[in-house]
């Protein structure tokens, strides 16, 4: 397995994994019509833009095996003055599940943030995503509370802010939890 920074040529596989992950994970939070619709094109437009015109504060890390994308994380350094760097996306393909990829992607993203944007490290997770919430709690994150947000299909969901008190606390815990 190789961890490497994403390039503009990675937009298509990243978008496909992102759309697939949403379809597998967000049933009941997003409408079936939306999830069964053309979210592949929508995600491709997002990732093409992100990977071709990315700000210096964006870091997108891929986990690959051969030509296969197994997972990715996208972070935005110093996104919030209180909470620090935002992990905007963390997605692992079913083929990569159970291999510690989520921990490795988060730990390496935390290392990048620690070098460039010292401070906190956080992400948002849908309240209904119990599996992800348990994972984040297992690697040292704490739930800092809910927020209601609009979904891309016009609905509304509750998301929870999960925070690591310091970037070093995540990096250390994620590395030791292997």
Q: How confident is residue 99, by pLDDT bands cut at 50, 70 and 90?
A: confident
pLDDT grade for 177, boundaries at 50, 70 and 90: very low
DSSP letter, residue 96: G
The CATH number of the structural domain formed by 2-176 is 3.40.630.30
**Alpha-carbon gap, residue 176 to 178, rounded angstroms:** 6
| pLDDT tens track for 22-77 | 999 999 999 999 999 999 999 999 999 999 998 999 999 999 999 999 999 999 99
Tell me what pLDDT residue 119 has.
83
The structural domains of the chain, with segments of one domain joined by +, span 2-176
The yes-or-no verdict on residue 178 having pLDDT over 50 is no
What does the chain come to in residues?
178
**Residue 129 DSSP SS3:** coil
């Amino acid at each position: 397995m190789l961890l490497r920074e994403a390039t503009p040529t990675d937009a298509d596989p990243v978008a496909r994994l992102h759309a697939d992950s949403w379809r597998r994970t967000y049933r009941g939070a997003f409408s079936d019509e939306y999830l069964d619709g053309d979210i592949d094109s929508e995600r491709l437009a997002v990732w093409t833009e992100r990977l071709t015109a990315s700000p210096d504060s964006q870091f997108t890390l891929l986990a690959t095996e051969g030509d296969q994308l197994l997972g990715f994380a996208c972070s935005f350094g110093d996104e919030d003055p209180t909470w620090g760097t935002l992990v905007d996306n963390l997605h692992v393909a079913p083929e990569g599940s159970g291999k510690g990829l989520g921990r490795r992607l988060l730990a390496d993203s935390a290392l990048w943030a620690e070098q460039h944007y010292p401070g906190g490290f956080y992400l948002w997770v849908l309240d209904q995503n119990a599996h992800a919430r348990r994972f984040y709690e297992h690697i040292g994150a704490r739930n800092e509370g809910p927020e209601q947000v609009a979904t891309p299909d016009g609905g509304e969901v509750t998301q929870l802010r999960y925070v690591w008190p310091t970037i070093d606390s995540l990096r250390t815990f994620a590395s030791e939890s292997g």
